[in-house]
Amino acid sequence: MINLNKNIIRSILIPSYVLIIVIVISGISSLFAYLNTGADRSSMLHTKLEKIEQYIPEVIWSPLNNEGRPMDEEVLKKIENDYLDAWYVKLVAYKTNTTFGIKDYYTDNARKNIFDFVELNTKEKVTVESTTLNHHPTLEFFSEDGQLAVITDKEVLEYKRVFKDEKLVLETTEKSTYKIIVLLEDGFWRIRHFVKERSERFKIEPDLIAAEHLNIKGINYYPQATPWDMFGDAFLINTISNDFKIIKDSGLNSIRVFVQYDDFGKADVDKEKLEKLRLTLDAAEENGLKVVVTLFDFYGDYSVLNWTLNRRHARTIVSGLKDHKAIVAWDIKNEPNLDFDSRGKVNVISWLDTMIDLVKSIDPNHPVTIGWSNVQSASILKDKVDIVSFHYYEDIKTLDLAIENLKKEVGEKPIVLQEFGMSSYAGIWKPFGSSEEDQANYHKKAQEIIAAYNLQFMSWTLYDFETVPKAVIGSLPWRKNVQKRFGFIDINGTKKAAFKFISQ
């Protein structure tokens, strides 16, 4: 008995001793680890600077034909980096009326001018939110000792929003030409002189593309297993291809897919995701389907200083896919009007406006649209888009009235009813929801209206889903569960009654 007790005590004591030692050692080691953190010696000098892309306007250098010393690519790249950083710190300075970073990129004499402006604008309570979208620099001169360069930056596209007492006074886009002298000081190419030589207001007359003939009869598409995560790790091209066959066989001719801004790598577009998108387009082409690609899904910042990043993202995707035969149109953004309250209507609309210009400048052959979430917003920027798109989840009975009103506002411009549908969910979270029969009737009625007004359409959506991510509709169960049942095909792969009315 005593022996047993001893053994029990031993078996407790030994592991607890080991445990205490482990805790003490790990405690000491984490203390050591903590004491070893802090300034890294290599960071004492400016030897290694982490480059975070925060401002990447499009820069196109003229061919080098400068006077003085011949320029090499590396120095030019360094000048470009520091020159853009100089712009960036200036833009931040005028946005916040602080002078952080100015010292690094402007010489003693030049920085005084910026400080004076910040002081004046602080006094007058003026702030300027601005960015530059394009630069066309020419190297005019590079001194023999490699310490001084003169640049003419032509047609700098500047977007500005000027506030007084935090109230927007003016929004302007200017195209200006600057002459700049930069000096190499302390390893930085610093601005010494900055002279504006020309400036004019900039306005692109939209080059509209006819879209009446497209006859889009389509559906919004997510694979059943991976809704809102179409290009993730579970990407299966065969599943997608089979789904496309189902869509084609049902009499439809197009689909709408979504490119999520963060998921696709923001400014630095993930090549793998882009390749998956291309495979999807290939599959659509094989099945005779056209694709509306919706950009900037789940993006909601719009702040002026981030525009260059957004544009790099759009530029990469649009220029990469513009020649694909499956593309039918670009949808700039899904339901941007939902951000009006949180981000400001002016911010959102001016963002969309310049983004349309960009997409059209890269791809002049495909029409552009915006997927407004309701019919009231659908006429915003109607003169810039080629197709007016809106989503309709309200009472089907008032759809014809909504269309009539919209037609009055947008005139001849083709209209796409870009999302519509009804959930067949009726259950514990919504006891008086709609049945599959109600859903079928809804689509029947919708198709009648579509036929009557000769609309183009894209319904929501092919499948019922098992899960809906929180980011889509929130985590409230009465919303999530409704959202899961919008499909024409249910969870088990059986076609619902509404499938009959998927197309005309």
Partner 1 sequence: MRNKYTYLSFLALILSSLFTLVQDREVTQSFTLETTQTEFEAGSPMALKFSTSRETRPLLYCSSSYGSTLIVPTYKSKSLIYDVPFNISSKIGLVNWKLTYENSSVSGKFHIHPKKEVSSMETYIGPPSIEAGGTDYTMLVVIPTDSLDNPFPENTLVLAKHQFLNSEKSEEIFTEDLISYKTIYSEKESGRLLVSSEALGINSKEFSVAVFPAIPIDFKISATRPHDYADGNQVTTFSTSILVDQHNNIVSDATYVTFFITNEKGNILKTSGATINGIATSKMIHPDYETEWSVKAYVDGIAESELIILRYKQVIKDFEVVFSENNRVITVGPLQSFMKQIIPDGLQVKLLIYKNETLFKTETKTSFEGFVNFNLKPDIYKNDSYTIVVKTAGLEKIFNSKIL
Residue ranges in contact with partner 1 by CB under 8 A: 67-69, 90, 94, 109, 113-114, 116-117, 120-121, 124, 126, 128, 130, 140-141, 143-145, 147-148, 150, 152, 160, 162, 164, 169-170, 172, 174, 176, 178-179, 181, 183, 193-201
* Residues 6+ away with beta carbon under 8 Å from 311: 57, 58, 133, 355, 358
Q: Which is nearer to partner 1, 126 or 209 (CB)?
A: 126
- Between the alpha carbon of residue 241 and those of residues 292, 323, 349, the distances in Å are 16, 21, 36
Cβ 124 to partner 1 shortest distance, Å: 7
Q: Which is nearer to partner 1, 90 or 311 (CB)?
A: 90
- CB of residue 144 to partner 1, shortest distance in Å: 4
Contact, 155 vs 177, CB < 8 A? yes
Shortest CB 97 distance to partner 1, Å: 11
Nearer residue to partner 1 within complex by CB, 75 or 126: 126
Which of 160, 479 has the CB closer to partner 1?
160
Q: Min. distance of Cβ 191 from partner 1 in angstroms?
A: 10
Q: Based on CB atoms, which residue is closest to partner 1, 30 or 147?
A: 147
Q: Rounded to whole angstroms, how far apart are CA atoms 352 and 375? A: 17
C-beta separation of 140 from 150 below 8 A: yes
In the complex, minimum distance from the CB of residue 387 to partner 1, in angstroms, rounded to a whole number:
27
Q: Which one, 144 or 249, has the nearer CB to partner 1?
A: 144
Give backbone dihedrals phi and psi of 373, rounded to 5 degrees, phi first: -85, -15
Q: How far is the CB of 138 from partner 1 (least distance, A)?
A: 10
Residue 123 CB, nearest distance to partner 1 (Å)? 10
Do strands 148-164 and 126-142 pair parallel, antiparallel, or not at all (unpaired)? Answer: antiparallel
Nearer to partner 1, 134 or 334 (CB): 134
In three-state form (DSSP H/G/I as H, E/B as E, the rest C), the secondary structure along 410-465 is HCCCCEEEEEECCCCCCECCECCCCCHHHHHHHHHHHHHHHHHHCCEEEECCCECC
The CA-atom distances, in angstroms, between 448 and each of 404, 441, 457, 468 are: 15, 11, 12, 30
Structural tokens at position 356: 């349309």
DSSP for 305-356? GGHHHHHHHHHHHHHHHTT-TTEEEEEEEESGGGGHHHH-HHHHHHHHHHHH
Residue 108 beta carbon to partner 1: minimum distance, rounded to whole angstroms: 10
Q: Among residues 59 and 148, whose Cβ is nearest to partner 1?
A: 148
The pair of structure tokens assigned to 306 is 């981030």
Report in angstroms how near the CB of residue 377 gets to partner 1 at its nearest. Answer: 21
Q: Can you say how many angstroms the Cα of residue 243 is from the centroid of all Cα atoms in its chain?
A: 27
Strands 148-164 and 167-185: antiparallel
Would you call 218 exposed, middle or buried from its count of C-beta atoms within 10 A (0-12, 13-18, 19+)? Answer: buried
Beta carbon nearer to partner 1, 152 or 242: 152
